[in-house]
Amino acid sequence: MPNADTERLLALVEERTGYRVTVDTIDTCAGDAEMISAAADHPFHLVRIAQNRLAGADYLVALQCTMLLSMWSHPLGIPKFRPIANKVAYFIKKAADWRGLARLSSTLREQTAQQLVTGLLHQLQSTPAELIGIEYCYRECPTLRKLQGDAMNVNLRYNTQSLKAEVKALAPPDIYEKNQIMCAALARFWCDLAGTEAAWLPYKSIGVDTQATELLKKFHETTGSLGERSTNIVDAWADELGLRSLYEWEYRSK
């Protein structure tokens, strides 16, 4: 039987948004799962779990449900993070000039710079919503704790891959540092919630602990509905990291 807490969240999403959640699997995906919020051309929310992460599917579905609840609770509509093309292009150009990328061909250099910048913006957009979801699931879904712990271990471990020397040498220092600060914020957040310390060790050693703690302070200070909190935290983090000019919010009607 699917987990009772997961079932409850699936029902809650349908009740709050008017659309049911359809859960599917996907052969390959960048992370654990993909989620598409319902709209006129697809009258259902779609959550797709990576085939290789099916063991933790109950938690991953619950987490995606909390993100849907968050998105649909914003009073202005469903928020959409929209990068501002010309400003992002400038940021990418600046990144492409970094000497760490100089050994690449010009095409590859630009592609890599673009990936790094869009990845950073995606991280900025998604991490606060993820933290809200993690906290919500931890408090409201006690039967998913074990699966949550396993999923967090996988995610945190994946994040630390970017601490490898070759990654650090390649990425522009500005982007690299912002990325690590947000990774560290996630790690510290989980350590505080679960009462462990291991995930924090790598970040303490590279000296981003103060800035990560500052991001978490802003996370805890933000109030409002889940949706408002999510966008407000993104903005607060963007201010802190110097990324606020690169995007704007659009709101789609529900």
Partner 1 sequence: MKPESLTFTFQLEDFDLKKLPIDAAILRSNRVMLESAVSDYFAEQFRALGGEAQISISQGVVTVRWLSEEGLPVLVEHSIALLQQGDHGTAVPMLRTALQHMPDNPVILFNLGMALSDLKQLADAITLLERLVTLQPDHAQGWNALGIAYVRNNDVQAAEQALRKSVQLAPDDGYSLRNLGGLIAKRSVKDALPFIKRAAELLPTDQAAQQGYGQALFEAGDTAAADQVLKQAIELNPLTPIAELARTLLTKIAHKNMRGAFGATPRMDVVMYCLAALKLFAESPEKCQAITFEIAMLGRQGLDINKPDIKYTLKSLPGTFSGLQLVSYMYVGFKRLSPTANISIDLSREYQQAQRLFEADETSTPGIADSLI
Binding site for partner 1 (CB under 8 A): 1-2, 22-25, 41-44, 46, 49, 51, 54, 57-58, 61, 146, 152-153, 156-158, 160-161, 163-164, 187, 190, 195-199, 201-202, 205
Q: Which residues contact 248 (CB under 8 A, 6 or more apart)?
A: 82, 84
Angle at 221 between CA 220 and CA 224, to 5 degrees: 95
Please, which residue, 122 or 157, has the CB nearer to partner 1? 157
We find the least distance from the C-beta atom of residue 190 to partner 1, in angstroms, to be 8
Rounded CA-CA distance 74/192 in Å is 27
We find the least distance from the C-beta atom of residue 235 to partner 1, in angstroms, to be 28
We find the least distance from the C-beta atom of residue 199 to partner 1, in angstroms, to be 4
Encode 125-156: b = buried (16+ Cβ within 10 Å), e = exposed. Answer: bbbbbbbbbbbbbbeebeebeebbbebbeebb
Rounded CA-CA distance 118/187 in Å is 22
Please, which residue, 39 or 89, has the CB nearer to partner 1? 39
Please, which residue, 158 or 239, has the CB nearer to partner 1? 158
Report the DSSP pairing between strands 45-50 and 247-252.
unpaired
Please, which residue, 200 or 219, has the CB nearer to partner 1? 200
Rounded CA-CA distance 74/84 in Å is 22
We find the least distance from the C-beta atom of residue 59 to partner 1, in angstroms, to be 11
We find the least distance from the C-beta atom of residue 25 to partner 1, in angstroms, to be 7
Tell me if 25 sits within 8 A of 107, measured CB to CB.
no
Rounded CA-CA distance 182/113 in Å is 19
Tell me if 141 sits within 8 A of 62, measured CB to CB.
yes
Please, which residue, 197 or 250, has the CB nearer to partner 1? 197
* Local structure of residue 25 (DSSP, 8 states): E
We find the least distance from the C-beta atom of residue 98 to partner 1, in angstroms, to be 23
Say which residue the tokens 């060790």 belong to.
201
We find the least distance from the C-beta atom of residue 5 to partner 1, in angstroms, to be 14
